[in-house]
Chain A
Amino acid sequence: MTPLLEMRDISISFGGIKAVDHVTIDLRPGEVVGLLGHNGAGKSTLIKCLSGAYQADQGQILIEGRPVTIQNPRDARAFNIETIYQTLALSDNLDASANLFLGREMLTPLGFMDDARMEAETRRIMGRLNPNFRKFNVPVSALSGGQRQSVAIARAVYFNAKILIMDEPTAALGPHETQMVAELIQELKAQGLGIILIEHDIHNVMKLCDRASVMKNGQLVGTVKVDEVTDEEILAMIILGKKPVRA
């Protein structure tokens, strides 16, 4: 089966520092691939090459077997790649619905912003993702970490993504909200999305991911099937950069 996504031999450096160094990963429909590694390993940089925030110096991206060029975030969106950034990338001064639809606003037949319809849609999807969410008419700067996170998630899942990138989606969340995100990931996976999940909590990785790709100092340590390895083996990959040896 052709992978949904392949990133082949991707490299990118910033002023001499090789942030990502010849990394190859792939992703199948309905699969969750964990992208693991210490802070500064290059995980966010790698996925930003996919979301159009950065352009790789070297390497190839293939979607459903076809080579594509992603030069900016608009291109990525056109390929149904949606990203939840570690920084969330919300405009603090705008409300939830303006953020959710930013860059893809609904318009009236006359070409004006259809705020009422966008708010209704926002209420609908937030009702599903975070039923307690009420702050629809205030700037997102007034929201809690978890509420902001759910706005960012809503934005990524609203537009029928095929490939979903989640950069530490549970970092700012309490246990209850983390559980909600975990359930959402399983639901989206069942719908056939391919998900790249950057996650530090090894239990979440073992629970949610099918495979894990581990990075260290910009390089790929290796990719393993999660149910074929132990927690300790994955931690060894992250900390020591050592791929488990199998008979």
Chain B
Amino acid sequence: MSDATRRSLADTLELDKRLFGMIIAFAVLCLVFQFQTGGTFLSARNIFNISVQTVSVGIMATGMVFVIVSRNIDLSVGSVLATCSALMGMLQTQWLVPVTGLGTGTTLVVSILLGLGVGTAMGAATGWMVGYQRIPSFIVTLGGLLIWRNVAWYTTNGQSVALRDPRLLAFGGTEGVMGPEWSWVLGGLATLAAAAAVIAARRGKMRHGFLVKPVWAEGLLVAMIAGGILGFVALVNSYEIPVGKLKRMFEAQGMDVPEGYVAYHGLPISVLILVAVAVAMTVIARKTRLGRYIYAIGGNPDAAELSGINTRMMTVKIFALMGFLCGLAALVAQARLQSHGNDIGTLDELKVIAAAVIGGTALAGGVGTIYGALLGALVMQSLQSGMAMIGVDTPFQNIVVGGVLIIAVWIDIFYRKRMGERT
């Protein structure tokens, strides 16, 4: 295919070319690891694991997009996550036990709600200092990075907190899966919803007499979305639950595993949470005033203020949303690890910022997408997993990840310069 026709294909589909490039780079990366690992990298098991490991950083990365788009930064997300996790852990295993009982549904629900609420409040406090007191977000959140990390330490007195409530662990990944039938149902519904959204957008444009893409292009777009969703469902549905774990599951019910019994994972609940967050954040970004104002502030803060936008209050809202997402990420992370430990969320700020930036969020503000950040998070996690699988030692993994971040931004600057965009 010649360069010209390829470009016109991307144009007709109105595909984000940057995204297109990233997907190709990601595909190449996966193929290299697939080859290097002798075929295990793209196994159902490994893809399942990578997606589960991406969730917590991915959730926070969507919020980081808004933070960076509005010309701020949040270096405290990993520490806020740790404080929320410590709080939820202590509430579940100690503080709420005398009131609502150990392992009860009430204890779990109250713990989660308090964790999310406190995360939101911590974010709002940051936003107030940045928006109303005009302290640069870099400084406020650099302070927060230290403060919250150590507040978390004091919350548990430096102890790890083991978490056993199966309903909590269900938020983590392997312990909380939908099973093949429900996964197909959800995948089917998601495909229908995506098709409906494409059709609705097309109708809206046609009603006002705007140009629309040819029908085949819309069809191809829907087909690609459907292929992605249903392909992923098929994959996780083919991942068998290991025999040892099946045994434990049956033993918990006082039964033996029947002869020849096999079960499959299906969609992890945590991935569904991430998808829900991503959809909600995309809707906020594109279809609400909040989102419009975040991008307007990033494009020109003075113009936003002169247009009557309360930019200070917006800053509070943006950071509060980031804090809420840290709380949610804390829930998923502690459930996956089945404990709260002192080092939970350590260096997450770097992964989260890297995910957003690799995903095309411009540090100068005004530009960034939710799906880009998710792809960025996936790239980071795949890189790390892949290197671990081919036996690269941890220090060198970190060196590579750091290098990739710098190179990704470098390429991006070139790209934007060529497109005549701001960097």
Contacts and interface: CB of A to CB of B under 8 A. Distances in A.
B308 to A, nearest CB: 4
Contact of B296 (A51, A77, A85, A94): A94
B309 A103 contact: yes
Interface stretch (A58-66, A114-122, A196-204, A236-244): A114-122
A94 B292 CA distance: 9
B367 A93 contact: yes
B68 to A, nearest CB: 13
A92 interface: yes
A77 B287 contact: no
A74 interface: yes
Contacts of B110: none
A53 B305 CA distance: 8
Which of A85, A94, A102 has the most chain B CB atoms inside 10 A of its CB? A102
B288 interface: yes
A73 B306 contact: yes
Which of B205, B210, B306, B422 has the most chain A CB atoms inside 10 A of its CB? B306
B403 interface: no
A162 to B, nearest CB: 17
B389 to A, nearest CB: 40
A128 to B, nearest CB: 17
Which of A85, A104, A115, A117 has the most chain B CB atoms inside 10 A of its CB? A115
A92 B287 contact: no
Interface residues of B, number: 31
A207 to B, nearest CB: 29
A32 B217 CA distance: 52
Contacts of B296: 91, 94, 98, 102
Nearest to B421: A141
Contacts of B209: 120
Interface string A105-121: 10100011101110110
Contacts of B308: 72-74, 77, 103-104
A94 B287 contact: no
A92 B299 contact: yes
A91 B288 contact: no
Name B's interface SS.
helix
A93 B299 CA distance: 5
Contact of A116 (B205, B289, B302, B366): B205
A106 to B, nearest CB: 11
A120 B366 CA distance: 24
Contacts of B421: 141
Given A90-B300, A91-B366, A93-B422, A105 B292 contact: yes
B171 interface: no
Nearest to B286: A113
Contact of B307 (A89, A116, A120): A89
Contacts of A91: 295-296, 299-300, 303-304, 366
A93 B305 contact: no
A113 B292 contact: yes
Interface string B303-330: 1111111100000000000000000000
B245 interface: no
Interface in B202-255: 204-205, 207-210
Contacts of B286: 113
B298 interface: yes
A83 interface: yes
B420 interface: yes
Interface string B282-296: 010011110010011
A142 interface: yes
* Nearest 6 A/B pairs, CB to CB: A91-B299, A93-B299, A93-B366, A103-B307, A103-B308, A89-B303
Interface of A: 51, 53, 72-74, 77, 83, 85, 87-94, 98, 102-105, 107, 111-113, 115-117, 119-120, 139, 141-142
19 contacts: A73-B306, A73-B308, A77-B308, A83-B306, A85-B306, A89-B307, A91-B299, A91-B303, A92-B299, A93-B298, A94-B292, A98-B292, A103-B309, A112-B283, A116-B210, A119-B208, A139-B299, A141-B421, A141-B422
Given A94-B295, A113-B289, 9 more contacts: A72-B308, A88-B303, A90-B303, A91-B304, A92-B422, A93-B298, A93-B422, A116-B210, A120-B209
